Amino acid sequence: MSKKITLITGASSGIGLELAWVCARNNHDLLLIARHEDKLQELTKAIKEKYSVSVDYLPYDLSEIKSAQEIYNHCQAKDLFIDVLINNAGFGDWRKFIDSDIKRQLDMINVNISTLVYLSHLFIKDMKNNGGGKIMNIASAAAFQPGPLMSVYYATKAFVLHFSEAIANELKENNITVTAICPGPTASNFKKNANIGNSRLMKKRNLPSSKNVAEFSYRAMKKGKVVAIHGLINIIMTKLVNIIPRSIVVKMVRKIQEEF
């Protein structure tokens, strides 16, 4: 019989790292994916020392589309059944689209969308054949509106949200739940990687910890929620954008995204 495994992408830092700890605490055997092999090694060792769970890792750059198939092939070769798939990997970029590096934007689409879709498509077939499973996709509170100065990032997260809701509906009959997690700004490496530290969105704010978001996300997934928005302010804002004219919403987002 295949061994049941929880696969987490982007597991070397931030929310993904904390999700690894939360899952290990709840007795999940783990397969951790990220680019940085040294960080994966360190995390794997630390989890094994604290919890009696199996932990393995694969260093992959998920901006390379072929990585999804290679990860799946590894699981097949090792007879691993991924019954929980956590698509956490993702990144942003803070600047006007016209001034951006187009390769970075396309890599963002590959990581935030293409590889997420590819992994989901590969593993849900096995989940269906094995009687069920769970998928967690990390979207964002950004998914509910356009985002000037982070146009591609906001658009990718809108895709993740809508995709998750759609397949959640399709997969009900197969005992597979799909949960889209929508956190707002979080204390993690995202701010540094996206170069967004000087925006009004990030400056002088008490940001929730990655650990707090990870624990919230795990609870939402276990309950089988389809959409889970983290934080009262984010819940209110996602409701407001439905009643405020979109031309005003775009201006508001631009204002909070601008340099402080």
Kindly tell me if the per-residue pLDDT of 22 is higher than 80: yes
Helix then strand count (H, E) for the chain reads 10, 7
Which pLDDT band holds residue 187 (cuts at 50, 70, 90)?
A: confident
**pTM of the predicted structure, to 2 decimals:** 0.92
- 118 noted as active-site residue: no
Give how far Cα 60 sits from Cα of 3, 32, 212, 230, Å.
Answer: 22, 10, 26, 28
Predicted pLDDT of residue 241:
92
- Given 60, 153, 154, 218, the catalytic residue: 153
For residue 81, what are the β-bridge partners? 4
Which pLDDT band holds residue 249 (cuts at 50, 70, 90)?
A: very high
Structural domain boundaries in the chain: 3-257
- Report the alpha-carbon distance of residue 131 to residue 41 in Å, rounded: 32
Kindly tell me if the per-residue pLDDT of 260 is higher than 80: no
The larger pLDDT score, comparing residue 194 to residue 114, is at 114
- Report the alpha-carbon distance of residue 17 to residue 188 in Å, rounded: 10
Instruction: Sort 135 into a burial class: Cβ within 10 Å, 0-12 / 13-18 / 19+.
Output: buried
Predicted pLDDT of residue 3:
82
Q: Which CATH number fits domain 3-257: 1.10.1740.10, 3.40.1190.20, 3.40.50.720, 3.40.50.300?
A: 3.40.50.720
What secondary structure does DSSP assign to 69-85, as a single string?
HHHHHHHHHTTEEEEEE
* Distance from the Cα of residue 178 to its chain's centroid: 12
Predicted pLDDT of residue 202:
56
The pLDDT tens digits of the residues spanning 90-142 come to 999 999 999 999 999 999 999 999 999 999 999 999 999 999 999 999 999 99
- Report the alpha-carbon distance of residue 20 to residue 43 in Å, rounded: 9
Kindly tell me if the per-residue pLDDT of 204 is higher than 80: no
Kindly tell me if the per-residue pLDDT of 77 is higher than 60: yes
**What does the mean pLDDT of the chain come to?**
93
- Identify the CA nearest to 220 among candidates 15, 11, 2, 9: 15
Share above pLDDT 70 across residues of the chain, in percent, rounded to a whole number = 92
Kindly tell me if the per-residue pLDDT of 167 is higher than 70: yes
